[in-house]
RNA sequence: GGAGAGGUGGCCGAGUGGUCGAAGGCACCAGAUUGCUAAUCUGGCGUACUGGCAACGGUACCGAGGGUUCGAAUCCCUCCCUCUCCGCCA
């Protein structure tokens, strides 16, 4: 959520900024009209209530005889106030509805452009591995080794579900453990959060109200399955005021994530690249606004380090305004090279949400300098997404004989095991 | 799921219809004072919206939402949460 005062004070500037992320200017006008109406009603109501308090007190001190006559007019005032409250409630609901649909403003340095047009590679590290045989895609490798079972996933749940079997499951578990240990080294506090959260929580990170159809939910109990651990991690301190000495706060969690993937129906249906359920290690930072830009850079670096330890070639993409999404003010993706399916796989997406989520979730800190409570800045990034990392490991470490070598960094988590072959599963 | 108890400011804890945004204590901040870590005294000390250049005002918030009333932290209803006991269960 943006600061309404910012919009109120510089409507034209904000309209221009929002146009960069395809938000129509007339929506800003609607919002301002709703704001004005709400404030006018609020003010009128305040005056009526002040009058009631004052006169009710007088009434209490009156002689009984005198009271009765005043009661009637006080009752009328009460009705007027009740009507005013109903009207204000409606006006506020409309205002809030509109506010929650306004996307975040991009940082000034984010290149402007439609869609992916303004995205650019800002860094590469490691060379895509060369093979003296034709590397297989992971779906073939996985089936040959018997470590990914697509058919039974489909049998039990449907399209986009699969089992990891034996060494496949162990390899993923090793990756998770390795990532979490690295996150701890990098200063993150590990949490094991709820995987189902309420509407308020999902609204806090801005997955609601706009993206309701991308998530699974239990309507009866008002539970939403988390689409990413960003939701519970960012909301950990929702509606709290933090001591500034505690900032920055780094949180991490391994969780399954649940997504409907309606938008990508028919895309990436092969393999384990995109499922309705996947595992991810997530990083979230709550930081002082002054350090926010620098914290995004180090967040990306924290994600890159996972790739580096796994010996995977990767590149970092800076997203242009057209690809920022709803909540991000700036965003980088990290992609690793997968030689089997011959593509760069997005294994991490690192966003700085500025005060956008903090305002929704009301995460504040006491600013010693100003003596005021201000919103923290929130950042989040994958560190990393498991299926795609698993794809990259399998495809990059495959050998001519059909086995897959275990990256050095994972061996301590697999009793020193050096490779996966059909025999070892 | 059943029975009971309870949810008040950072914490503890008063408050059962009016002058209560809420006593008191602790913690915290500022100042004063006493030569030792510390004690004492004085003052300050919630959040948000809003009017005003400011001084200083107004309104809302005592788990949430409704209701009764001229007036609700206080009475009534519904819901949520916590605790205790019983039942059930991974």
Which 55-84 positions of A have CB less than 7 A from strand B?
55-57, 59-61, 71, 74-75, 77-78, 82
Predicted model pTM: 0.92
| Cα–Cα dist A136/A141, whole Å | 6
* Alpha-carbon torsion, ordered A220, A159, A390, A138, to 10 deg: 180
Confidence of residue A241 (pLDDT cuts 50, 70, 90): confident
**Helical ranges in A10-63 per DSSP H:** 11-19, 25-61
- The complex scores an ipTM of 0.82
Residue A424 pLDDT: 67
Residue A124 pLDDT: 96
Which nucleotide, over all strands, has the C1' atom closest to the CA of A75? B70
Q: Is A336 helix (H, G, I), strand (E, B) or coil?
A: strand
Phi, psi of A366 (to 5 degrees): -85, 115
* DSSP-derived pairing of the beta strands A330-338 and A314-318: antiparallel
| Same-fold call for A4-99 versus A120-424 | no
Asked if residue A194 has pLDDT above 70, the reply is: yes
Q: Using N-to-C axis directions, what is the helix angle for A64-99 and A25-61, rounded to 10°? A: 160
Which 352-411 positions of A have CB less than 7 A from strand B?
364, 373
Domain A4-99: give its CATH code: 1.10.287.40
Q: Is A340 helix (H, G, I), strand (E, B) or coil?
A: coil
Q: Is the shortest CB-to-strand distance from A159 to strand B under 7 Å?
A: no
- Rounded to whole angstroms, the distance from the CA of residue A39 to the C1' of nucleotide B52 is 17
| Cα–Cα dist A421/A98, whole Å | 56
Q: Which CATH architecture has domain A120-424?
A: 2-Layer Sandwich (3.30)
Residue A425 pLDDT: 57
Q: Is the dihedral of CA A110, A113, A114, A120 positive or negative?
A: negative
pLDDT digits (tens, 9 = 90+) for A323-374: 999 999 999 999 999 999 999 999 999 999 999 999 999 898 888 777 778 8
Q: For A339-376, where are the E strands, in sequence order? A: 343-352, 363-367, 372-375
Residue closest to sugar C1' of B57 by CA = A50
The catalytic site residues of A sit at 259, 274, 346, 349, 388
The answer to whether residues A287 and A377 touch, using CB atoms and an 8 Å cutoff, is: yes
pLDDT digits (tens, 9 = 90+) for A386-417: 999 999 999 999 999 999 999 999 999 999 99
Q: Is the shortest CB-to-strand distance from A89 to strand B under 7 Å?
A: yes
Asked if residue A59 has pLDDT above 90, the reply is: no
What is the DSSP secondary-structure string of A233-270?
Answer: HHGGGTTEEE-GGG-SEEEEEEEEEE----TTTTSS-S
Asked if residue A286 has pLDDT above 70, the reply is: yes
Asked if residue A155 has pLDDT above 90, the reply is: yes
Domain ranges of chain A: 4-99, 120-424
- Rounded to whole angstroms, the distance from the CA of residue A334 to the C1' of nucleotide B22 is 54
- Work out the end-to-end distance of chain A between its first and last CA atoms, rounded to an integer number of angstroms: 50
């Amino acid at each position: 959520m943006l600061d309404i005062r910012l919009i109120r004070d510089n409507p034209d500037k904000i309209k221009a900024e929002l146009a960069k992320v395809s938000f129509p200017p007339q929506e800003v006008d609607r919002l301002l009209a709703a704001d004005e109406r709400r404030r006018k009603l609020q003010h009128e109501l305040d005056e009526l209530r002040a009058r009631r308090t004052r006169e009710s007190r007088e009434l209490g001190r009156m002689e009984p005889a005198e009271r009765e006559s005043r009661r009637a007019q006080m009752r009328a005032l009460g009705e007027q106030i009740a009507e005013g409250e109903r009207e204000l409630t409606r006006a506020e609901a409309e205002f809030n509805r509109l506010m929650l649909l306004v996307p975040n403003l991009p940082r000034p340095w984010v290149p402007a452009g439609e869609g992916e047009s303004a995205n650019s590679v800002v860094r590469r590290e490691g060379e895509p591995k060369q093979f003296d045989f034709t590397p297989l895609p992971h779906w073939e490798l996985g089936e040959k080794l018997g470590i990914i079972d697509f058919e039974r996933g489909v049998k039990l749940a449907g399209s986009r579900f699969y089992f990891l079997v034996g060494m496949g499951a162990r390899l993923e578990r090793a990756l998770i453990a390795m990532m979490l240990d690295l996150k701890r080294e990098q200063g993150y506090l590990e949490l094991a959060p709820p995987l189902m959260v309420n509407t308020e929580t999902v609204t806090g990170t801005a997955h609601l109200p706009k993206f309701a159809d991308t998530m699974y939910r239990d309507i009866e109990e008002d539970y939403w399955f988390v689409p990413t651990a960003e939701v519970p991690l960012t909301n950990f301190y929702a509606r709290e005021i933090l001591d500034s000495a505690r900032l920055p706060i780094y949180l991490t969690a391994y969780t399954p994530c649940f997504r409907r993937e309606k938008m990508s129906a028919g895309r990436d249906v092969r393999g384990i690249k995109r499922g309705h359920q996947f595992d991810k290690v997530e990083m979230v930072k709550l930081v002082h606004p002054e350090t926010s830009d620098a914290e995004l850079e180090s967040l990306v670096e924290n994600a890159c380090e996972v790739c580096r330890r796994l010996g995977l070639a990767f590149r970092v993409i800076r997203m242009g305004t057209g690809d920022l999404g709803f909540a991000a003010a700036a965003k980088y993706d990290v992609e690793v090279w997968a030689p089997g399916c011959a593509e760069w796989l997005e294994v991490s997406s690192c966003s700085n949400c500025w005060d956008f989520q903090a305002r929704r979730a009301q995460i504040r800190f006491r600013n010693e300098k100003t003596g005021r409570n201000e919103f923290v800045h929130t950042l989040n990034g994958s560190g990393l997404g498991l299926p795609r990392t698993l794809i990259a490991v399998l495809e990059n470490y495959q050998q001519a004989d059909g086995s897959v070598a275990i990256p050095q960094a994972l061996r301590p988590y697999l009793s020193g095991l050096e490779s996966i072959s059909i025999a070892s599963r």
